Chains A and B, each alone.
Chain A
Amino acid sequence: MIALPGLARDSLLFLHGDDGPLTAQPFVDALRAGLDAPLTDVVAPTCPGWTEEPVPVWLRTIDQLAYHYLEAIDRCTTAPIVAVGASLGAWLLLEMATKQPRSFSALVLISPVGVKLTDRETAQFADLFARDIAARASVLYADPEGALRRQAGLDDHEILGLAVAQEAVARFAWEPYLHNPLLRHRLTRVKCPTAIIHGTDDAFVASLDYYRRLGGLFGGPTALKTISGAGHRVEEEQPVALADSVLEYLRDVR
């Protein structure tokens, strides 16, 4: 189901966010350019559901995806690896790290979702399915006008990629919306050093304090870092600054 060609003990695994690999590519490129020993490569797979390949009917939770990713990692290496995830990709990493902590030596979670800390009448994350494109941009980006200009310039193939990505988010995260209610109760199993990085202008979460509170639930050492000039989609708005921040953290914990 999932193949991670090239993944080895010295790889950095990157899992893209809800809008798929297209908008994350500049960040992946910056990450790859700045890698230093012992890391030798970035492996950035496209998640099932985020391609035009059909997805089995039974594959419709992030929890289930996590088992298939762990199986794929185990096939490549039994050594703990460094992994970075953005938004929904970070949620996927949290699911994996709670199921099999030994697989990870360090995690970097960029604007993670997946855990709900608000009360029942307060949505933890802005509803992407209830906003027109301008209102979506305003909760996702520090510079919504810039995002709208980029979207208007996309070609049909790129728009198809976004349409596929949006469908995948609905498939995996419609209800409960962008979280697994059980995940927060096992977050102490996240044992490895973990950084949470978020944009200073992230309006997608109910409160920026979410990220600090989330980190406090982990069972290992946690760092909280911010990137200015970025909203929820840090990897799209500040790819180079984000790559620098990720690499700096990984050097610190090495």
Chain B
Amino acid sequence: MRAFVFTEMQFPFVDEDAHESVRVTLPNKIYDPKVGHELYKRYFDLYERADRYGLDIMLNEHHSTATCVEPAVPLTMSILARTTKSARILALGNPVANRRDPVRVAEEMAMIDVISGGRAEVGFVRGVAQEISPANSNPVLMKERMWEAVDLIIKAWTTHDGPFSWEGEFFHQRQVNIWPRPLQQPHPPVWVPTQTASTARETAQRGYTVATILNGAEGCVRIFDAYRESFVAAHGTEAPPDKLAYLGLVFVAKHRRDALEGARAVQWYIQHNKVAPQFVNVPGYFDAATRVKMLRAQYETGRLPSPIDHLAYAPIEELVDGGFCFAGEPEEVAEQLLTFRKRVGAFDNWLALVQAGAMETDLVAPSMELMASEVLPIVNRELAS
């Protein structure tokens, strides 16, 4: 089992009640760049400590939002490629359905792979609905665009005998001949995060790593089972556990009471994601049949309930039982993880949201250190036996 630690790099000082949405339309005059400067130091320091503890790193990208002030994942990856020594650096991911130039993504990721000495793990994602307007990305046919972009990037990474041309349904390129090429051969590991079984199946057919996020044990099983079935059908062998990943909230402390308090601080992440309904219920992003319930709720109440509303203020113990959170003393968290693994089947990538809101490094670092020094050794000893 490997552990990738993650923070969304939030700008947490926003009065949400004063705004319709903290995503897409929140004016950036609310963002204080001087405070932001200090926050970036905090976030990069946290990742650099994770590297020193022997943990891996997960990064992502969102736009026009206080919930994740990280609008260019190649930038954060490239900084960490230089300032860390051994951590795998996972982008989860590049929103390629929203990027107009997949070849540029291929170049960026290849350069980061070379700078980091082959530590890049490259995720590709369709992107959440609220990214569509900031990217001005047509929400119809996004999956088709994403997979064509992925195909083009893989071909750019793996073609070494001079240029090729690409005239696809969505992307046209001439003289594709990226420099540098990736250090990892034939290319860096490819990941796809998803909350849907259909994307999990396609990811399995392509042999990429699937990740699912805050789905709880029940949701995770649905994704993992779809992946495993399709993997066997496509490749004739069982899906290796290192092709599956799950993200939950995580806080570890020497004493249970501190751990629960820390986990409640991480829970801030779920509580502060106010999005106006029109940026979630986007035509074409969800199919029309799925949108009927969403539209009915809006027509009848003017509101759109979030599928994770029930998690926002749930007791931590309830989140742990559901598999949304791992919190406690090291032995306890190891046991939670092993129990979760029994419920959803073998997976070897534990993605850990370890920081949220205004949590400072002094609070988060000991939790990460315990993950590395106590939780993972217990889990890996148990799995080896």
Extra 14 A-B pairs, beta carbons < 8 Å, given A160-B292, A171-B141: A52-B288, A57-B141, A60-B141, A130-B24, A133-B302, A148-B299, A159-B295, A159-B299, A163-B289, A166-B291, A169-B283, A174-B136, A174-B139, A174-B140
For B292, list chain A residues within 8 Å (CB). Answer: 156, 159-160, 163
For B276, list chain A residues within 8 Å (CB). Answer: 132
- Given the known interface contacts A160-B289, A160-B292, the answer about A132 and B277 at a Cβ–Cβ threshold of 8 Å is yes
**Distance in angstroms between the alpha carbons of A41 and B144 in the assembled complex:** 41
For A167, list chain B residues within 8 Å (CB). Answer: 140, 283-284, 287-288
- 5 pairs, A vs B, C-beta closer than 8 Å: A60-B140, A129-B283, A132-B276, A159-B292, A174-B136
Residue of B nearest to A162 (CB): B295
- Residue-wise, chain B 127-145 has the 8 Å CB interface mask toward A (1 for contact) of 0000011001011110010
- Given the known interface contacts A166-B283, A167-B288, the answer about A159 and B296 at a Cβ–Cβ threshold of 8 Å is yes
Residue of B nearest to A174 (CB): B138
- Residue-wise, chain A 154-186 has the 8 Å CB interface mask toward B (1 for contact) of 101001101110110111001100000000000
Within 8 A of B (CB), among A85-143: 129-134, 136
What's the tally of chain A residues with a CB closer than 8 Å to chain B?
28
For B32, list chain A residues within 8 Å (CB). Answer: none
Q: Is B167 an interface residue (CB 8 A)?
A: no
- Given the known interface contacts A159-B292, A170-B139, the answer about A132 and B169 at a Cβ–Cβ threshold of 8 Å is no
Residue of A nearest to B298 (CB): A133
**Distance in angstroms between the alpha carbons of A162 and B299 in the assembled complex:** 12
**Distance in angstroms between the alpha carbons of A208 and B124 in the assembled complex:** 44
Interface residues on B, range: 20 to 34
- Chain B proximity of A170: nearest CB distance (Å): 4
Q: Is B278 an interface residue (CB 8 A)?
A: yes
For B299, list chain A residues within 8 Å (CB). Answer: 133, 148, 151-152, 154, 159
For A131, list chain B residues within 8 Å (CB). Answer: 278
Do B296 and A58 touch across chains, with their CB atoms under 8 A apart?
no
Do B278 and A170 touch across chains, with their CB atoms under 8 A apart?
no
- Residue-wise, chain A 4-20 has the 8 Å CB interface mask toward B (1 for contact) of 00000000000000000
For B133, list chain A residues within 8 Å (CB). Answer: 129-130
Do A171 and B288 touch across chains, with their CB atoms under 8 A apart?
no
Q: Is B300 an interface residue (CB 8 A)?
A: yes
**Distance in angstroms between the alpha carbons of A52 and B287 in the assembled complex:** 10
Most buried by A among B139, B169, B283: B283
For A164, list chain B residues within 8 Å (CB). Answer: 288
4 A-B pairs closest in CB distance: A166-B283, A163-B288, A174-B138, A171-B140
For A154, list chain B residues within 8 Å (CB). Answer: 299
- Chain B proximity of A239: nearest CB distance (Å): 21
Most buried by A among B133, B139, B279: B139
Q: Which of A52, A130, A152, A156 contacts B300 (CB 8 A)?
A: A152
**Distance in angstroms between the alpha carbons of A84 and B24 in the assembled complex:** 38
Within 8 A of A (CB), among B261-298: 276-279, 282-284, 287-289, 291-292, 295-296, 298
**Distance in angstroms between the alpha carbons of A131 and B279 in the assembled complex:** 8
Do B144 and A163 touch across chains, with their CB atoms under 8 A apart?
no
Most buried by A among B282, B287, B299: B299
- Chain B proximity of A132: nearest CB distance (Å): 5
- Chain A proximity of B293: nearest CB distance (Å): 9
Do B144 and A57 touch across chains, with their CB atoms under 8 A apart?
yes
Residue of B nearest to A135 (CB): B278
**Distance in angstroms between the alpha carbons of A60 and B142 in the assembled complex:** 13
- Chain B proximity of A136: nearest CB distance (Å): 8
Within 8 A of B (CB), among A178-219: none
**Distance in angstroms between the alpha carbons of A131 and B277 in the assembled complex:** 9
**Distance in angstroms between the alpha carbons of A169 and B291 in the assembled complex:** 15
Q: Which of B25, B288, B302 contacts A134 (CB 8 A)?
A: B302
Q: Which of B138, B139, B169, B295 contacts A163 (CB 8 A)?
A: B295
- Residue-wise, chain B 283-321 has the 8 Å CB interface mask toward A (1 for contact) of 110011101100110111010000000000000000000
Do A171 and B298 touch across chains, with their CB atoms under 8 A apart?
no
**Distance in angstroms between the alpha carbons of A57 and B141 in the assembled complex:** 8
Within 8 A of A (CB), among B140-171: 140-141, 144, 169
Do B302 and A171 touch across chains, with their CB atoms under 8 A apart?
no
- Chain A proximity of B277: nearest CB distance (Å): 6
For A58, list chain B residues within 8 Å (CB). Answer: 169
**Distance in angstroms between the alpha carbons of A156 and B294 in the assembled complex:** 11
- Chain A proximity of B39: nearest CB distance (Å): 28
**Distance in angstroms between the alpha carbons of A148 and B144 in the assembled complex:** 35
For A160, list chain B residues within 8 Å (CB). Answer: 288-289, 292
For B277, list chain A residues within 8 Å (CB). Answer: 132-133
For B140, list chain A residues within 8 Å (CB). Answer: 60, 167, 170-171, 174
**Distance in angstroms between the alpha carbons of A84 and B184 in the assembled complex:** 60
Q: Which of B25, B136, B288 contacts A175 (CB 8 A)?
A: B136
Q: Which of B278, B295, B302 contacts A130 (CB 8 A)?
A: B278
Residue of B nearest to A163 (CB): B288
Do B284 and A170 touch across chains, with their CB atoms under 8 A apart?
yes
For B132, list chain A residues within 8 Å (CB). Answer: 129
For A151, list chain B residues within 8 Å (CB). Answer: 299
- Residue-wise, chain B 115-128 has the 8 Å CB interface mask toward A (1 for contact) of 00000000000000
Do B288 and A132 touch across chains, with their CB atoms under 8 A apart?
no
Residue of B nearest to A131 (CB): B278
**Distance in angstroms between the alpha carbons of A170 and B291 in the assembled complex:** 14
Do B291 and A163 touch across chains, with their CB atoms under 8 A apart?
yes
For A166, list chain B residues within 8 Å (CB). Answer: 283-284, 288, 291
Do A132 and B139 touch across chains, with their CB atoms under 8 A apart?
no
For A169, list chain B residues within 8 Å (CB). Answer: 283
